[in-house]
Structure 1
């Protein structure tokens, strides 16, 4: 019992750290009066609704107007910053957990934590052999800002000598996925995105999202310029991931029993419990039984089995065991 209590404490700290990565927005302002502040806070709330639902059209739903009518309820603090160009911005922090609970109650989609880390290899083709968009590239700041706007957890490669020894830009254009996976192995990630931006009129960006040896999503976007192409890339990738991982479900009395074998370390227990409890739509993940290296959890999940299995795929340690799955509401996984 002491161990389970320790898990609960550590879990609370960890989920708080994840929530803090989503809770802050920065909105440009042309003054610091009451009217400008309220307008900026309302705009920030709209960004939060899009970020936490994963869907841009959430602003057309009733939940958006309902949330806006309670604006002061969601703002936990705000301050003003002076930007590098001398202009001002209001930086506001919102109650992420309260907003997600409110959105779920209103029947809106909720994309909670944990969110998959997406390792992005983006090539700007240009007129030469192509250049990787990494720190120092003219499009890097746009890339980071747009990912933050949508709440997409990006990992940007270093593109140093180690990367260059395993991968070149032609491999990304040519879809040589083995080289891509080899180069990606040094970075923490759950998903890999490979994209090529072709300059021109229009600018075009082609992209794919990979998990293990499979392509989850792909697309091709045309825009007026490179900056808009980066925005379109982030929007489309985020839209597709949110459609896969965000949860919109009704309350159910059903409970899934998840049996996980080969969990033999204290840290593994904590990691598994942390992962399950933090999934979008997970109302409760209770440890029902511990026998040797086998743990059985009761999962009170608010949406479909398919959505739950999609979310379980986000764990790099969980895999469906090679034996046939147990029939009925009991699932059999192994820890690796």
Structure 2
């Protein structure tokens, strides 16, 4: 076994991170810290208002929650939003109309880029969540009735409505995919399934899109009011709601906000003000310097991770001491979403010559972790597995020996790169 600081002295000069392509379910969302805000003109007053509105848009997009707009501390920060600005510029472009056949509207926008570190620091300091740029994809099955018949939105149908939904999805940083509604989809899902919000056949048909979440929406536009009934399924958990909007444009905007709030609420991480939970992460499949560098880069880039420190290396296996921003669940969600670390079973105990079994042990760092007994890990790789000492009966009059301090939980994964 090699202590990792010894390995660093030998290799630090030649470690170069090389990205390794892999198939992942999540989508890397760009421009999370940028906003594009419509302006009536290019005056200083209009720009100041747009910078304030864009600042709020970015906070909502990065936190994954539109509810923060109602907080007093956010209102105060908006009055001084210019201090977060890095760059701005103007652009004229078309905004798609919701109804088929309607002409797009040309508008002038102020594009603003905000400081990434300052935004993240502000959210953490005020106890708001941060949703990483590696985000779950969502397949949206939408049935729309405008009084002239029921239509499925996707493929080549209702492209204006699709384009408008994509604009609002970009505003919230939510990757959305509409079904193709080709022969493969239509052989498994009918318009009645979507309109009736029957989740089972739709979820089965969504497997081809490799999405992390699936939404079914029934949108009925009649009498000037747009009524929506919706359900989103995230990790097998269903969330149902209904709401009404005064126009089709507003209905699409409200729908995307609801979806983003619910998906963001599941995946975004609220940082703890105290020292976060610590866990020992055993990673196998680290076969070369590229794997080692890529794994370290990946762990340090996770919003769920505050610090990660490689403790020991044994062959192709590396043990990290990981300090979390929040709790174990957020870390496991990140791993499951990215698909770069795959859960595996804990190592089996080593057979001694006497026939007895002894678990593999690895020394932990001087950062507070005691010796870790890996045999305490269960076959469930995502379960927290602290080791335990045998608790025997104590005879009367015999001094009680204090039990050893509990060790850190250990989880086992394999690096996929």
Q: TM-score range by the shorter chain?
A: 0.7 to 0.9
Q: Give 1:178 deviation, angstroms.
A: 5.6
Number of the residue aligned with 1:300:
323
Q: Give 1:259 deviation, angstroms.
A: 2.4
Q: Map Cα deviations across residues 71-93 of structure 1 (whole Å, 9 max, x no partner).
A: 33322221111233443221112
Give the counterpart of 1:195 among 208, 217, 221.
217
Taking the aligned partners of 1:98 and 1:282, their CA distance within structure 2 comes to 19
1:92 aligns with 2:112: yes
Number of the residue aligned with 2:393:
none
Are residues 80 and 32 of structure 1, via their aligned partners in 2, closer, same or farther at CA, if it must alter by over 3 Å? same
Are residues 63 and 215 of structure 1, via their aligned partners in 2, closer, same or farther at CA, if it must alter by over 3 Å? same
Taking the aligned partners of 1:258 and 1:273, their CA distance within structure 2 comes to 12
Q: Give 1:47 deviation, angstroms.
A: 0.9
> For 1:1-336, what aligned pairs fall within 5 Å after superposition?
1=11, 5-7=15-17, 18=28, 20-61=30-71, 63-65=73-75, 67-68=77-78, 70-84=80-94, 85-126=105-146, 127-133=148-154, 136-174=158-196, 177=199, 179-201=201-223, 202-211=225-234, 214-248=236-270, 249-252=272-275, 254-261=277-284, 273=296, 275-316=298-339, 318=341, 320-321=343-344, 323-324=379-380, 325=383, 326-327=385-386, 328-334=408-414
SS of 1:88's partner is strand
Taking the aligned partners of 2:293 and 2:214, their CA distance within structure 1 comes to 26
Q: Give 1:270 deviation, angstroms.
A: 6.7
* Contact persistence 2:129–2:268 (CA under 8 A): yes
Based on CA coordinates, which of the two structures has the bigger radius of gyration? 2
SS of 1:107's partner is coil
Q: Give 1:329 deviation, angstroms.
A: 2.2
* Contact persistence 1:199–1:226 (CA under 8 A): yes
Give the aligned length. Answer: 329
Q: What RMSD in Å do the two structures reach over aligned CA positions?
A: 3.4
Q: Map Cα deviations across residues 64-111 of structure 1 (whole Å, 9 max, x no partner).
A: 256435533322221111233443221112223331122212322222
Taking the aligned partners of 1:186 and 1:268, their CA distance within structure 2 comes to 29
Taking the aligned partners of 2:192 and 2:287, their CA distance within structure 1 comes to 43
Number of the residue aligned with 2:405:
none
Taking the aligned partners of 1:169 and 1:115, their CA distance within structure 2 comes to 29
Taking the aligned partners of 1:197 and 1:272, their CA distance within structure 2 comes to 44
Are residues 134 and 97 of structure 1, via their aligned partners in 2, closer, same or farther at CA, if it must alter by over 3 Å? farther
SS of 1:193's partner is strand
Are residues 292 and 63 of structure 1, via their aligned partners in 2, closer, same or farther at CA, if it must alter by over 3 Å? farther
Taking the aligned partners of 1:80 and 1:53, their CA distance within structure 2 comes to 26
Q: Give 1:57 deviation, angstroms.
A: 2.8
Taking the aligned partners of 1:38 and 1:279, their CA distance within structure 2 comes to 34
1 or 2, which has the higher helix percentage?
1
Are residues 34 and 225 of structure 1, via their aligned partners in 2, closer, same or farther at CA, if it must alter by over 3 Å? closer
SS of 1:76's partner is strand
Q: Give 1:290 deviation, angstroms.
A: 4.1
Taking the aligned partners of 1:269 and 1:123, their CA distance within structure 2 comes to 47
Query: Which runs of no fewer than 5 residues in structure 1 stay unpaired?
Result: 12-16
Number of the residue aligned with 2:351:
none
Query: Which runs of no fewer than 5 residues in structure 2 stay unpaired?
Result: 1-10, 21-26, 95-104, 346-378, 387-407
Are residues 170 and 71 of structure 1, via their aligned partners in 2, closer, same or farther at CA, if it must alter by over 3 Å? same
Taking the aligned partners of 2:202 and 2:415, their CA distance within structure 1 comes to 26
* Contact persistence 1:222–1:229 (CA under 8 A): yes
* Contact persistence 1:26–1:92 (CA under 8 A): yes
* Contact persistence 2:153–2:178 (CA under 8 A): no
Q: Map Cα deviations across residues 31-80 of structure 1 (whole Å, 9 max, x no partner).
A: 11211111111111111111112222323435425643553332222111
* Contact persistence 1:45–1:71 (CA under 8 A): yes
